[in-house]
Amino acid sequence: MKTEVKKLDLKKTLSSYAAASGRYDIIDIPPLRYLAVDAEGAPEDASFGEAVGTVFALAYALKFASKRVLGRDYVVPPLEALWWADDPASFTSARARGKWRSTALILLPEWITDAMVADARATCASKVAPEALARARIETLVEGTCGQTLYLGPFANEGPTIAALHRAIADAGLRLAGKHHEIYLSDMRRTAPEKLRTIVRQPAVR
């Protein structure tokens, strides 16, 4: 009888995926290695959609290669993204979404090598826009101390939660550092906006 390969689910094994609505935690995040593709504009703009499609294509190519070649299977982690703008108010009071810039991210298991990513890039060459694939890279995020909470609801209404997280960071004697980070626990294609679950994370320093 063929032995079933046990799947690793990083959402269940990494404490950094734990968050609760209405609770603002100060946590330490270890260095984590991601697939990354940059984009410009609001989340609904074509640039971000192209970046998301590219990281998912690469992520699934790696998952299948890992199971086939190494006998190690895993659940593809949720989509994440870094967001930033020249004016931080673009995320809170002004909400000037067209001025946002972003990096779409998907976390990699530690055993995925650079060579495997290169092979996945070749596998996806006929499925992904060449300019998007050219922007794809491996990036290690070293965020360290972060404030984090769980936001429930549509993305357009995140502003007050983000502002509250920033206040909690200041109340802890810290200041904002690095880029606004979101982790999309819900499948935004199949989930009603009011039921979306998003971890909101902000790096901070003393």
| Average of per-residue pLDDT across 57-83 | 98
Structure tokens at 2: 């063929």
- Determine, yes or no, domain membership for 34: yes
> What's the structural domain count of the chain?
1
Residues facing residue 40 across a β-bridge: 101
Distance CA 178, CA 99 (A): 17
Q: Choose among 84, 55, 35: nearest CA to 182.
A: 84
- Determine, yes or no, domain membership for 151: yes
pLDDT tens digits, one per residue of 76-93: 999 999 999 877 677 666
SS3 78: coil
What letter would DSSP give residue 21? B
- Determine, yes or no, domain membership for 2: no
Q: What is the pLDDT of residue 2?
A: 54
Residue range of the domain that includes 143 = 7-205
Average model confidence (pLDDT) across the chain = 93
- Determine, yes or no, domain membership for 197: yes
State the pTM of this model.
0.93
* Cβ contacts of 49 within 8 Å, gap of 6 or more: none
For residues 179 and 162, the answer to whether their CB atoms sit within 8 Å is no
- Determine, yes or no, domain membership for 1: no
Is residue 3 predicted with pLDDT exceeding 60? no
- Determine, yes or no, domain membership for 156: yes
- Determine, yes or no, domain membership for 154: yes
CATH number at 191 reads 3.20.80.10
pLDDT tens digits, one per residue of 121-146: 999 999 999 999 999 999 999 999 99
- Determine, yes or no, domain membership for 35: yes
For residues 162 and 176, the answer to whether their CB atoms sit within 8 Å is no
Residue 109's pLDDT band, with cuts at 50, 70 and 90, is very high
Neighbours of 72 (CB within 10 A): 16
